[in-house]
Amino acid sequence: MSIAEKLQSKTPRRSGSSKQVRLRLVHIDFWSAMKVSAVLGLVLGIVQVVVVFVMWSLLQVVGLFGKVDEVMRDILADPEFAITSLLSLPQVMMFTLLVAVLNFVVITVLGAVIAVLYNLSVRLTGGLQVGFANQ
């Protein structure tokens, strides 16, 4: 028997069914939505930078850049061609950081705009009805 089952068996049982509550969401605070979307944008930006760094490092370790160099040297007939001169780690990370900052701004603004649009749509629809059960 697991700990959750033991705890559940110790709680007193209520007779009858659990009480259900239906609530209507009629307002989303603008600043709360903006803060939550900003945190989400920041977390996604950090994840994006880390993933790009890991992927670039993995491609470097596997030797993919060397294979691309060989193919491109044959195609271009240029013995000096190196893909890492175009896609060096600092260049890739700066581009990724720029995209992460843009994503942060876009996600933050979208969160605020969605909150405003929802608050305006509540006037027409009456809000979102949500059901909760007390067990």
**What confidence tens digit (pLDDT) does each residue in 39-57 have?**
999 999 999 999 999 999 9
Interacting residues of 132 by C-beta distance below 8 A, sequence separation 6+: 20, 21, 22, 23
**What confidence tens digit (pLDDT) does each residue in 89-126 have?**
999 999 999 999 999 999 999 999 999 999 999 999 88
**What confidence tens digit (pLDDT) does each residue in 11-41 have?**
555 555 678 888 888 999 999 999 999 999 9
Partners of 21 in beta bridges: 132
Q: What pLDDT is stored for residue 126 in this prediction?
A: 87
Q: What pLDDT is stored for residue 82 in this prediction?
A: 80
Q: What letter represents residue 8's amino acid?
A: Q
**Domain ranges in the chain?**
25-123
Mean pLDDT value of segment 49-73: 90
